Structure 1
Amino acid sequence: MKVAFLVALVLFPLGALHAADTAYSALRVLGKRDGQEVLNHVTELRGHDGTPQPAVWKIVLDDPRARGGVREVEVQHGKIVGERTPTSHGVSSSMNFNQLNLDSEGAFTIANQEAQKGNVPFDHVDYRLRAGTGGGAPVWQLDLLDGQNGHVGSVDIAADSGSVLRKDFDRNRPVQDDHAYLDDNHNPPPPPYQASRGDTDEGYSHSGEPFKSVPDFFHRLGKRFERRGHEMQNFFTGKNVHDGVEDR
């Protein structure tokens, strides 16, 4: 029972991947509740640990009626799940959504393409959408993170045109143990098992290689959770399990 619970806990995020909101859908939730005019007061959107979309979007609003002049609204799975008025928060310029042509899905695609060019692997993303300087178009800032290695790069993207404004990759990052869970050659199954199943990873990238596509991103993330579950199961049972097949 304990093992089953722990494995389910490790694999749970895989089921949540497809239910996450994009930035556009989070803004629609707020506009539907408070009216479209409220979107003229949005100063920032933030989302953490996106795989590739974050589970929760935080929308920051300029609100003179709120204490501190700012209101923060959290959106998850199409619903507003939290709201607060912080006492201190730097008030930024409101964004012009007439210049917002790039949703968070598109921003991820562009950042992933840049990471491929730089040969920089990552497994989750922090998002920030803010107003451009001098009244310019909103800007997406994506911070790319890779397991226990932490921050490996960032990409700034113009939200009106999709142009890359800035990119910065850390090519001297240390290799940590978490890479092992994305490495399809880590603890490979024994030859008979490998021969009977065949190469189910054909066409996908391996650890240390750039992602080939969004499905490739999900594939490697799934492998990471899968291997964590197997190693936890092996630890508690003393058995050697590969992808649900027990070695005897």
Structure 2
Amino acid sequence: MINDAHSQRIEINARMKLTVMEQIIPKLRNLKNYTKKRGLHELSKEFHRCQRPWAKSLKKVNKIKIIYHEACKITHESAVFLETGRMPSGHGVSEMTPEQREKIQIRHDEYAAEVDRVRTVYEATIYELNFMKHEYLEGMQAAFDKCVAIERERMTVFQECIELFAHAIDSGRNTQYAKVWQSVDMTLLNYTVDQDLEYFSATIGPAMPYKWPAFEEWENRPSQQYDD
């Protein structure tokens, strides 16, 4: 009985080695050559080429948004100072002198004009960015589809290799591996390559939720109170 078990184990190991050497390794080697030939580095560069103009315009939008919001904030604060006749000082809050009021009025008028000017620029940059959206999406979709084709091939080969390995062990005749490969068989039975590809698309690809840049009005969030 011990000899039978030993012989069976030798047979299993020999079958596994043969499968690995003659079927699995060639598949993996071909896969490596396939992915190398398809130029993963070039695909990465293609993504960057698609993103570069969009990222440049988005950076411009974010920069002008900060300028617009800062101008709105200063205009609002100076209007409050003029209305109340009080402003922060080194000793807390104090009444404004005529000279201070004049300076605050000038500052208010300058930034009120700046708000109107920058708002126009901000809206224009948003429009320009949205105008690029269709081309940006098309380019990213094309690059993503090329990656999906490579990933589908890679995952299919790995799935085939696991199935070959499971068949080589032949868990039905070897109780030592039966539970392990029963779980593997169940996983393979329930698995499809499309599941992972759909997940990739939904989390980092074209199917993920979008939040496109839009005009954001400044909101007053007072951090200080100027009342006694």
Same fold (TM over 0.5): no
Q: Which is higher, the Rg of structure 1 or of structure 2?
A: 2
Higher relative contact order (CA 8 A, sep 6+): 2
Give the structure with the higher percent strand: 1
TM-score of the two chains, using structure 1 as the length reference? 0.19
TM-score of the two chains, using structure 2 as the length reference? 0.20
